[in-house]
Structure 1
């Protein structure tokens, strides 16, 4: 019975993920999610007390996979720290060229729920961005950068700003330009010894 319950819950979250990301939170009804998941509305409400809970589960499900993907792009990239961070932007630019790309699910959800600051989805989105910021901060600190938090926030602003502008213009080159700016900021912040070694 428990296994069936877990499977049903995951199916509902998967359906919500596809619909919410594509059509937005307000544009998708609970009925539409239930239909896509192949369950009754009653079954959906057995697993989720409200649409708000479902929205929170949708974003929670995106949290770790997104962060893991950023780290993977960073780790696999050749070159030093500036090039590795720039690779995150380059890979996002490539993703943005896909016709189904709709930007950052966390930012889009927060925009839809801007008049509800206490909404659980807003807290989850804020926590997600803080995790990315903290990962960058720790990475920069390990490289001996003097103000790692300040630099991490600058990179986060470049990233989220590029999400917004690319979504407006449908031109992924803005994200590549943001990556070049991130590269320059990190290069300038590196200790002199690491610059000499081509880091």
Structure 2
């Protein structure tokens, strides 16, 4: 039995995701995306009105899978809340050691679009980071952590700072060190038992 072909829009986003993540959004033309998807440029523009819309779709496609991955690492970790948070950083460190790892697609895109704060991809990136923060805030609040909102923001800052420094130094141990700092913050916020 023959499997159904992927919908055209999905093929375009998949091709764009591979190219944008590996080469950056400015380094990839719409022609290159159409070629990778096995389509004409006209077909691509039938599904996306502009490259900007395609960039936003690329990030939108990373949103839930990235959040789900963080949640899985958190849920699968044994130990207390600090261990669960550390697991996110530890797993990111493992990912960062892979030769094809290029960091956080949301942050890399934001850096390329720094002069365009209203860009649809920037809005998508902001929404993703807010979802990660909201999820962490909920986990911290449910665990009885003091200042769950501030703690979630601090952990997001450590995550994003870790991503940036690993890209600069090409040394995954930086994100693991950020995880140690995150664990310290979490332990300090938990009620004494």
Q: Provide TM-score, normalisation by structure 2.
A: 0.97
For residues 131 and 174 of structure 1, the distance between their equivalents in structure 2, rounded to whole angstroms, comes to: 24
3-state SS of paired residue (1:176)? helix
Residue 94 of structure 2: aligned partner: 94
**Where does 1:13-92 land on structure 2 (aligned, <5 Å)?**
13-92=13-92
- Aligned position for 1:136: 136
State the 4+ residue runs in structure 1 displaced beyond 3 angstroms: none
Can you list the C-alpha shifts for 1:5-57, whole angstroms capped at 9, x where unaligned? x7111000000000000110100000000000000000000000000010010
Matched, 1:123 2:123: yes
Deviation digits for residues 157-182 of structure 1 (CA, Å, limit 9, x no counterpart): 10000000000111000011000111
C-alpha deviation, 1:71, in angstroms: 0.2
* Distance of 1:175 and 1:120 partners within structure 2: 28
Q: Take 1:57 and 1:158, find their aligned partners in 2: how far apart are those partners?
A: 26
Q: Secondary structure at the match of 2:7?
A: helix
Work out whether 1:165 is the aligned partner of 2:165.
yes
Cα deviation for residue 143 of structure 1 reads 1.0
Q: 3-state DSSP class of the match of 1:192?
A: coil
Name 1:175's counterpart in structure 2. 175
Shift of residue 146 of structure 1? 1.9
C-alpha separation in 1, matches of 2:101 and 2:162: 14
Q: Which structure 1 segments of 5+ residues have no match?
A: 194-199
Q: Which ranges of structure 2 fall in alignment gaps of 5 or more residues?
A: none
- C-alpha separation in 2, matches of 1:40 and 1:154: 45
Counterpart-to-counterpart distance in 1, 2:143 and 2:53? 40
Length, aligned pairs only: 190
Matched, 1:187 2:193: no
